[in-house]
Amino acid sequence: MCPDSVRLLNGSSVCSGRLEVKSDQTWSSVCEADFDQQDAEVVCRELGCGPSSVLQGALYGEGEAPMWTKEFQCGGHESALLDCRSSDSDRNTCSPGRAAGLTCSDPVRLVGGASRCSGTLEMKLGEWRPVVGYRWTLKTAAVICEHLDCGSAVSVGQREEISDISTWWVESNCIHSGSPLRECATPYHDDSIWNLTCSDSVRLLNGSSVCSGRLEVKSDQTWSSVCEADFDQQDAEVVCRELGCGPPSVLQGALYGEGEAPMWTKEFQCGGHESALLDCRSSDSDRNTCSPGRAAGLTCSDPDDVRLVGGASRCTGRLEVKHLGDQWRPVKLLDWTLKAAAFFCQHLDCGSVVSAADRHLYSKTSVWTVYADCLYPGFDLRECLMSDRSPFIMHLTCSDSVRLLNGSSLCSGRLEVKSDQTWSSVCEADFDQQNAEVVCRELGCGPSSVLQGALYGEGEAPMWTKEFQCGGHESALLDCRSSDSDRNTCSPGRAAGLTCSDPDDVRLVGGASRCSGTLEMKLGEWTPVDVDGWTLKTAAFICKLLDCGSAVSVGETKETSNRFVWRIKSDCVQSGSPLRECALSYIFTSSILNLTCSDKPVSDITSDIIKGWSRSCFRRF
């Protein structure tokens, strides 16, 4: 549907631009002096946009259209601009630079919540529909909260419906690109919709996470900064709780800039138990000045607890998170790789990641969904959590007491050992090939290929004081015997660096030979591999790995029912990365990969062909 007689040109979106009106098949610009806020409301409604947010002359250029000669006199309720009354007399001139420019907001709202800043997210494009999407996190929700002039994002999650309903599909990456929401939306049918909660009247700006930033408070539709002198630790406790964050860890003026908001004039006097900052008592007298550089900056701690349960140690088992004092819930990690899972091992102060796998429950349960690409060094777990229901949960195995740091892969790096909750580097002189074999086995890697001091830096950890004396058969480094005497010094640049070989256990099964059939990989257990952009070029890598010559064919087999498989992306294989680091989380599918390799290297095949030609030519001769 296109509007008949109004349009906005040269704007940054379909809801902004220089206003033009059509009459008698001619488009005309409108003089800013003949156009007011009520007229703007009518135009925004006619275009299917949200309320007018900016009305300013020449904001989007002048254009070449003639000028509309009447003054619009809308009541604000009309459905089209040309339905409005207009002045009796004509305007013959309009000052240069006064063509009306208009910006309308996106028609977005939260409904069904305790306030206008919480509930089901809906968007109007012709009609109001709930919003669904992919890869929504708290950072995505923060964009919506800002758009609605609410405070900081507190939570984001999905709610299941009884059956499919008409929705708008909005991709998270489109929202983060800064595009208007209505330009990110496409029609869709789904049985789950997004629920968001934003704080009503407090927000943190310019911080490194959603739980840090310069504090602002909203009253009478105006946001104000708070003077550090009027804000103490008890007040900070209330704000952090209101935003769904952990207790305050840093309270310091100007830590996150000054901003342009006016200064709040009262001193907060919270008891610390209140649920919202504006529920607190405040001083009777106003503060008229605040020293420069004293706008209150606040950092709240991470409110999330993480654990692994059901395993043989605290570093193995089902991954669970406790968020905002809620019950412990399992985690569903989407599009994960071993490198993504490794962040949780680090978060738990365990060693290196050994294996990870999705487990399938009999029915859906409440989970925290985490998108793997949200995990990076120093990540804020709260920003990555999304409330969901799923039958898939993550099981993770980390090593208890050894890890490799700063390596080019999960099976290489500077060796560190943990004892009494402290990580220590190991002196190369106290570590030999048999010790290395034990470590590589403990980490689920292949045999040791390189053992060299300082290959991966020195680090800041203290040095382990005993010499390891492994027999090579032990399952863990700390099971090995060690020297009786302590070593007090280690030459600089001698921290043990270790490279284990690629542990990729792959095989072809069900074919005419060991070099053809269904491709399977072992990460804990043997599992088929899914088809994902594989070509003969990718298959050649596997054939070489299996010592099976060159790739002959690659294809897809459809099984009668779905089962768990590994998804391995072709471009990751061709990049030369270890296969175990290319494997994405289990998926449930009936499509599996079939490969056929020649049994012989290419040179042998070429030799056989030449010999065949020679024999053929000789017989003919």
**Which phi and psi angles does 405 have, rounded to 5°?**
-115, 150
Q: What would the pLDDT profile of 118-153 be if each residue is shown by its tens digit? A: 999 999 887 889 998 877 888 889 999 988 889 999
Above 80 in pLDDT, residue 49? yes
Highest-confidence segment of 8-12, 47-51, 189-193, 507-511:
507-511
The mean-pLDDT minimum among 47-61, 367-381, 472-486, 531-545 falls in 47-61
Coil vs helix vs strand at 124: strand
Read off the pLDDT of each residue in 94-104 and give the average, rounded to a whole number: 85
Sign of dihedral through CA atoms 215, 217, 218, 220? negative
CB 155 within 8 Å of CB 230: no
pLDDT at 353: 93
Q: What would the pLDDT profile of 254-303 be if each residue is shown by its tens digit? A: 788 888 889 998 899 999 899 999 999 998 888 777 888 889 999 998 77
User: Token pair of 598, please?
Assistant: 């020649």
The CATH code of the domain at 108-198 is: 3.10.250.10
Specify the CATH architecture of the domain 202-300: Roll (3.10)
Domain 6-104 and domain 505-602 have a common topology: yes
Task: Tell me the pLDDT band of 618, cut-offs 50, 70 and 90.
Answer: very low
CB 11 within 8 Å of CB 103: yes
**Domain 6-104: which CATH class?**
alpha beta
Task: Tell me the pLDDT band of 604, cut-offs 50, 70 and 90.
Answer: low
**Domain 505-602: which CATH class?**
alpha beta
Above 50 in pLDDT, residue 595? yes
Q: What would the pLDDT profile of 551-585 be if each residue is shown by its tens digit? A: 999 998 888 887 778 888 888 888 888 888 888 76
pLDDT at 617: 44
Q: Where are the domains of the chain?
A: 6-104, 108-198, 202-300, 329-398, 402-500, 505-602
Q: What would the pLDDT profile of 334-386 be if each residue is shown by its tens digit? A: 888 888 899 999 999 999 999 888 888 888 899 998 988 888 777 788 888 88
Q: What would the pLDDT profile of 57-93 be if each residue is shown by its tens digit? A: 777 878 788 888 888 999 988 989 999 998 888 777 7
Where is pLDDT greater, at 446 or 14? 446
* E strands, 24-136, in order: 26-29, 52-57, 72-73, 85-86, 100-104, 108-112, 118-125, 127-134
Task: Tell me the pLDDT band of 397, cut-offs 50, 70 and 90.
Answer: very high
Nearest-angstrom CA–CA distance, 341 and 410: 11
Q: What would the pLDDT profile of 155-172 be if each residue is shown by its tens digit? A: 888 888 888 899 999 988
Above 80 in pLDDT, residue 99? yes
pLDDT at 330: 95
User: Does the domain made of 402-500 have the CATH classification 1.20.1070.10?
Assistant: no
Which residue, 78, 87, 103, 113, is CA-closest to 33?
A: 87
CB 325 within 8 Å of CB 275: no
- Supply the pTM of this predicted model: 0.75
Residue with tokens 């088992």: 317
604 Cβ contact partners less than 8 Å away, ≥ 6 residues apart:
549
